[in-house]
Amino acid sequence: MPRPLPLLLLGSALVSACATGPAYEPPQAGALAVPALYAGQSEAQSPARLQDWWKQFGDARLDSLIDRGLAGNLDLAIARARLVQARESLVQSRGGRLPTVSGSGQASQGLDTSGGGQSAFSLGIDASWEADLFGGKARAVEASRAEAQAAAYDLAAVRVSLVSDIATYYVQARLAQQRLALARQNLGFADENLQIARWRNQAGLVTSIDVEQARSARAQIAVTLPTLEQTYGQAVFRLGVLTSQAPAALADELAETAPPPAPPGGIAAGFPADTLRQRPDVRSAERSLAAATARIGVAQAQLYPALRIGGTIGTSSISLGGLVDLVTGNLFAALSHTIFDGGQARSQVRSQRAAAEAAFAQYKQTVLGALEDVEKALLAVRTAEQRRSGYDEALEAARNQAILARSSYRAGLSDFQTLLEAERSLISASDGQLVSKGDQTLAVIQLYRALGGGWDPANPAQD
C-alpha cells in the first residue's frame, strides 16, 4: 500500500503549477494613446547616442562637474540604497518558497544528595515547508522582481535628472557671467554719456534735463547688476550641492567668465515609441504596474487552502558517544483553510485590483507626460532658434544706430533723448542676444532630458 505522504507531496507539486491572478502583459501603444510621430514631423530618425549626451557640448568643465555629480550626488546615493532594499526584498520573497530548517542541541547535568548525577545530551532538527498550492508565493516573487526592476529604473531617472540639472545650472551660471560683463560694459558707456552731458551742461549747450536723463539711464543699468549677481551665485551654489559639496565650493573654480557651451545641431527626437523605451520613469511605471498585477494573485491565493509539510529528527543519550545509537523522527502534513474572516480576504483581492487599475492609470499618465515633455522641448528648440536669429539682426541694427546717435550727440547734432533711445535699444538687443543663445542651449538640454538621455538602458543601475 503506498504511503499517503509522498502522494500528498506529489499532488501539491502538481497543483502548485497553477498560479492565481491574471497573467501580466505590458499594455500596447494603442492603449496608451501613443502617436506614430511627434507634432510637426513628417518622418523620424533614430535619436543619436543619449547615454553621455553632454559630451557633445565640448565643454571640459561641464564634463568634470557631471562626473563629480555622478560620483557623489546624495540623491543618487539614496536611490542606490532603495535599490538595494528592493533587491533584498526579492531575496526574501524567493526564500519564502524554500523549506525552513532549524536545529537545536541541549546538554544537562543532574545532581543528587550524594554528590552524583547523570548527564543527558540531545540533538534535534526541525524542517517545515509551505507548499505553493495556488501560486501565491510565485506571484509574490514576480511582484518583488518587478519592484526591484522599478527601483533600478528610479535610480536611472535620478541620474537623468541629475546630469540635466548640472548642465542647466552650469549654463545659467555662464550666462549670468556674460550678462554681468555686458552690464558692466554698458555701465561704462553710461558713465561716459553722463560725463559728456555734464560737460555740455557746464558749457551751456544743454539743460540740466540731459544730465538727469543720463543719471537715470545709468542708475537703471546699475540696478541690474545685483540681480545678475544673485542669479549667478544661486546657480553656483546649486552646482556645489549637486556635486555633493558645500554650496560655495565651486565659486573659485567658476570665477573666470566663460560663455555657455554651444549646443550640437541636428538632434533627432526619434519615434514616440523610442522615448517610452528610453525614459526610465516610464519603464519604472510599467514595472510598478506589473508588480501591482502580480499582487492580485498573491491576494487571491489567500482564498484557498494552505498545505504545510514538516518533519523532525532527534536523538538523546546520556553520553555524547551514544547520540547516534537511536535516532527518531516524524513527518506531518497539515491542510488549513479559513472558513470565515468577515470578507477580509476577498476585500483584499478587490483592493489589489483597484491598486492595479490605479497603477495602469499612473503608467498611462507617465507615458503622456513623457510625450508632452518631448513635444514641449522640440517646440522650445525651434522657438529658441527663431529668437536667436531675430536678436542677431536686431543687435546689428542697434549697434549701427547707437554709433550714429553717439557721434551726433557729441557733435551737437542731436539731442540726448535720441542718444538715450539708441543706447537703450542697444542694451536690450545685446542682452537679448545673450539670453537667446543661453535659451537655445537650455532648450537642447531640455530635449535631451525629455528624451531620457543620461543612462544606459541595458544597465539601468549602472552596476
Kindly list the distances between the CA atom of residue 218 and the CA atoms of 26, 34, 179, 212, in Å, as whole numbers in the listed order.
63, 54, 16, 10
Q: What is the mean pLDDT of the chain?
A: 87
Residue 363 within a domain:
yes
CATH number at residue 253: 1.20.1600.10
Residues 85-106: tens digit of each pLDDT: 999 999 999 988 888 888 887 8
pLDDT at 9 over 70: no
pLDDT at 436 over 60: yes
Pick the most confident of 41-45, 73-77, 114-118.
73-77
119-158 burial string, b = 16+ CB within 10 Å, else e? eebebbeeeebbbbbbbbbbbbbbbbbbbbbbbbbbbbbb
pLDDT at 3 over 50: no
Residue 326 DSSP class: -
Under a CB-based contact definition with an 8 Å cutoff, are residues 123 and 314 in contact?
Answer: yes
Residue 332 within a domain:
no
Q: At what angle do helices 208-222 and 416-451 cross, to 10 degrees?
A: 10
**Residue 16: band (very low, low, confident or very high) from pLDDT cuts 50, 70, 90:** very low
Backbone conformation region of residue 135, classed left if phi is above 0, alpha if psi is from -120 to 50, else beta: left
53-62, 64-73, 108-117, 387-396: least confident range: 108-117
Residues 403-420: tens digit of each pLDDT: 888 888 777 778 878 888
pLDDT of residue 375: 93
pLDDT of residue 140: 92
Q: What is the secondary structure of 118-181 as a DSSP string?
A: -EEEEEEEEEEEEE-TTSHHHHHHHHHHHHHHHHHHHHHHHHHHHHHHHHHHHHHHHHHHHHHH
How much is the average pLDDT of 351-361?
A: 95
Kindly list the distances between the CA atom of residue 392 and the CA atoms of 318, 385, 387, 405, 445, in Å, as whole numbers in the listed order.
101, 11, 9, 20, 22
Rounded CA separation 219/194 (Å): 11
Nearest CA among 20, 14, 24, 3 for reference residue 290: 24
How much is the average pLDDT of 347-371?
A: 95
Phi then psi dihedrals of residue 216, to 5 deg: -65, -45
Rounded CA separation 148/158 (Å): 15
Higher pLDDT: 377 or 420? It is 377
**Residue 1: band (very low, low, confident or very high) from pLDDT cuts 50, 70, 90:** very low
Q: Pairing mode, if any, of strands 100-109 and 119-131?
A: antiparallel
The three state secondary structure string of 262-289 is CCCCCCCCCCHHHHHHHCHHHHHHHHHH
Residue 335 within a domain:
no
- Which residues are CB-contacts of 273 (< 8 A; sequence separation ≥ 6)? 29, 34
How much is the average pLDDT of 314-339?
A: 77
pLDDT at 40 over 50: yes
Higher pLDDT: 253 or 44? It is 253
**Residue 356: band (very low, low, confident or very high) from pLDDT cuts 50, 70, 90:** very high
pLDDT of residue 47: 65
pLDDT of residue 20: 83
| pTM of the complete model | 0.87
pLDDT of residue 7: 42
Residue 31 DSSP class: G
Residue 463 within a domain:
no
C-alpha cell at 36: 506614430
314's enclosing H/E stretch is: strand 306-317
- Which residues are CB-contacts of 233 (< 8 A; sequence separation ≥ 6)? none
Widest pairwise Cα distance in the chain: 133
Residue 339 within a domain:
no
Phi then psi dihedrals of residue 203, to 5 deg: -85, 0
pLDDT at 446 over 60: yes
pLDDT of residue 17: 47
CA dihedral sign, ordered 14, 16, 17, 19:
positive
Rounded CA separation 217/416 (Å): 11
State the total domains in the chain: 1
Rounded CA separation 332/130 (Å): 12
**Residue 322: band (very low, low, confident or very high) from pLDDT cuts 50, 70, 90:** low
**Residue 46: band (very low, low, confident or very high) from pLDDT cuts 50, 70, 90:** low
333 three-state secondary structure: strand
Higher pLDDT: 120 or 91? It is 91
How much is the average pLDDT of 314-331?
A: 73
Nearest CA among 272, 291, 289 for reference residue 452: 272
Rounded CA separation 309/335 (Å): 9
Residue 266 within a domain:
yes
Nearest CA among 359, 394, 445, 435 for reference residue 174: 435
C-alpha cell at 32: 496608451
Residue 261 DSSP class: P
Domain carrying residue 167: 28-95+135-304+350-451
Query: Which amino acid type is present at position 424?
Result: R
pLDDT of residue 112: 65
pLDDT of residue 113: 62
Query: Which amino acid type is present at position 382?
Result: R
35-44, 51-60, 214-223: least confident range: 35-44
Which position has the grid cell 519592484? 147
User: Distance of alpha carbon 374 from its chain centroid, rounded?
Assistant: 16
Rounded CA separation 301/298 (Å): 5
